[in-house]
Amino acid sequence: TYFAPEARAALDGLGFRGFWMGYFAARSAPLGKVPADVVTAAVYNFTPERVAKALPAAWEIASPVDAIDAREKSAVAALRRSGVS
């Protein structure tokens, strides 16, 4: 759901700057405000530099709870748009 337009709109709506900041915020939010190196290890296939451009700066914009809420609501909207109820 990270690539659905609903997700991008929801994460942009929180104020995250650019796709990657919203992506890493939404993906790592269940871990809380952990350091970028923890997220790099958890998502594995991204360079530390890519993650560090987004985190921890994202948490100055919106909380992990806000990111989880946006992710959940946008996932539901994307599924409904696709005909899943």
The distance from CA 51 to its chain's CA centroid, rounded to whole angstroms, is 11
16-68 confidence digits (pLDDT tens): 999 999 999 999 999 999 999 999 999 989 999 999 999 999 999 999 999 99
The reported pLDDT for the residue numbered 2 is 85
- What is d(CA 56, CA 50) in angstroms, rounded to the nearest whole number? 12
The reported pLDDT for the residue numbered 1 is 78
Q: Residue 54 is part of which domain span?
A: 5-81
- What is d(CA 71, CA 2) in angstroms, rounded to the nearest whole number? 8
Q: How many domains does the chain have?
A: 1
What's the whole-model pTM score? 0.91
- What is d(CA 5, CA 46) in angstroms, rounded to the nearest whole number? 22
- What is d(CA 21, CA 17) in angstroms, rounded to the nearest whole number? 6
How many CB atoms within 10 Å of residue 62? 20
Structure tokens at 9: 């709109």
Asked if pLDDT for residue 75 goes beyond 90, the answer is yes
- What is d(CA 38, CA 40) in angstroms, rounded to the nearest whole number? 5
The reported pLDDT for the residue numbered 85 is 82
